[in-house]
Each structure stands twice: as structure tokens, then as C-alpha cells.
Amino acid sequence: MTRQSPLTRYIVGDRFEPFATHDTIRTVSRFVADLRADRHRDDTSLVLVEGQGLTSFDWDRIRDELDRRGLADRVRIRESDAGCLCRQTETHKHRECNVLIAGLERVAESRFRAALRIHNDQELLLDHQGGHVQGMVVLEAARQMFVAVSERYYLSHQPERHYSFVLDSMDSKFLTFLFPLAAAIEYEVLSADLSDPAQLSFDVRVTFEQTGLPAATVHMVCGALDSSALAQKERRGTARALRVLGREMDPVPAG
């Protein structure tokens, strides 16, 4: 029987196969397989909603299959409006697939907002993926949010300096499952000590929201240190560690 009302499918990357168990959710490959099996031949209207893990390459694959099946005029695609990814200089990630922050904006003096964006080949997904987004992805997104906000809105006033970032503490609360669908990130600077340009410190709270509800919160105390000063501290710490390990490895003299 021909359907009269639009049929909705949420499309996610192939990596999220464990999540795609509901009738309305399909991975890219599974949806293409559905098309090739003529499962949508009688649908008069189909809406495809972008979840996590998709790229323009994936949408091109889907559009090509829709064209081949003569279904393109029946399908409306709602691609993500998350906005532009944060740049390498803002996230300190060298591969685009590992950037988790998109559409970063300032909404008040100490409040910022962005969209969570998870690539199908994000580094934390490669060895394990369950039916929801792992907590480690949330923590890494919170860390990237700290770096990106600091770089764009605080450190840009010191262009002659080069900073490195450190975490003093990170406390997280997971309130409900976060699924590989659209999600927002709210970032609030609770306090900031900018008195010493060589060592800035921040107390921040990051909230992950989905369907209008908080899914997780991360409270961090973190800092931005002059890179040369941090390098000196690291060298001293390395030398100290090597001395201690060297003493532990020395053979005990025979008595």
C-alpha cells in the first residue's frame, strides 16, 4: 500500500551499526542496501535526517543511489547545520576526522556554544563502538572545547606568544546516554585568571545537550602556559624521572 505521510530515516555512519537497531535508524551502507532491495519503491515521501558520522561523500553516495532508483524527487535530505569545523590551530588536532567541535560561537561574555560533530573514523571509535557515544568521546570533546575557546577568544590577544595547554582536574557526570545524533555543547567560564600572560588559568563547565536535555557535564580546571616555560618544566621533570628510574634499575651490590 502506498504511504501517504512522509517516512523518516535517521542516517548515521557505518561505525554506528550497533545503534542502528531501531526501525527509523539506518547506517549509510544499510540504507543503500535498502534502496537496492527496492524497500522504498512505494514510499511517496521520504525524509532523511543526518546523524553523526556522515560526510558529503556519504551523501553523494546516497544521492547517486536515489538517482539510479528514480527516487530523488520523493526524498528530502536534512543535512546537519552544525556549522564549520574548528580549525587545526584551534583544536590542535592534525586530522579532520578527529575534530569534534563545529559552529563555535560566543553567546555571552563568558558563555560559548558549539555542535558536537563525530566523524565515522574518529580516533576514539576505531577500536570499540557500542549503541551510544562513549564517555571518552565526551571527555575529548570537552577538552577540545577548552582549547578552541581559549585559542579563539582569549589567546588571540597575545599573538606574539605560543601557548600549551594543561589539565589540572576533570570531573564528569553522565546523566543519560548520548546517542550519535545532533547534540549541542554549552561552555561556561566560571572564572579566569589572566593576570599573568605567561600562565593563564580557567575554571570551566561544559554541558552536552541532546533533545533539549543535559546528557553529561564536565567540570575542568585547566591552564594555558607559555610553551617555552612548559618545555623547561617538562625537561626538568624528565631528568628527575630518569634519575629515579636509573637508581631503581641499578643492581644491588653483593653483600
d(CA 46, CA 63): 13
Instruction: Confirm if 86 and 101 have CB atoms less than 8 A apart.
Output: yes
Stated as kind and residue range, the H or E segment containing 62 is helix 56-68
Angle at which helices 56-68 and 28-36 cross, to 10°: 10
d(CA 188, CA 108): 9
Listed range (136-140, 160-164, 209-213) with the worst mean pLDDT: 160-164
CA dihedral for 192, 113, 225, 217, sign (positive or negative): positive
- Asked whether the predicted pLDDT for residue 3 surpasses 60, the reply is no
Instruction: Confirm if 184 and 113 have CB atoms less than 8 A apart.
Output: yes
- Asked whether the predicted pLDDT for residue 255 surpasses 60, the reply is no
Provide Rg for the chain, Cα atoms.
23
pLDDT at residue number 225:
87
For 70-77, what is the mean pLDDT?
92
More confident: 146 or 4: 146
Stated as kind and residue range, the H or E segment containing 144 is helix 135-149
For 237-247, what is the mean pLDDT?
81
pLDDT at residue number 1:
45
d(CA 4, CA 2): 6
pLDDT at residue number 83:
92
Listed range (2-6, 197-201, 232-236) with the worst mean pLDDT: 2-6
pLDDT at residue number 19:
93
d(CA 136, CA 192): 26
pLDDT at residue number 239:
80
For 123-139, what is the mean pLDDT?
90
pLDDT at residue number 34:
94
Mean pLDDT rounded to a whole number for the chain: 91
Whole-model pTM: value is: 0.88
For 116-133, what is the mean pLDDT?
91
More confident: 162 or 84: 84
For 166-189, what is the mean pLDDT?
96
pLDDT at residue number 179:
96
Within 8 A by CB and 6+ apart from 49, the residues are 8, 9, 10, 11, 78
- Asked whether the predicted pLDDT for residue 252 surpasses 80, the reply is no
- Asked whether the predicted pLDDT for residue 97 surpasses 60, the reply is yes
For 202-225, what is the mean pLDDT?
96
Listed range (12-21, 157-166, 169-178) with the worst mean pLDDT: 157-166
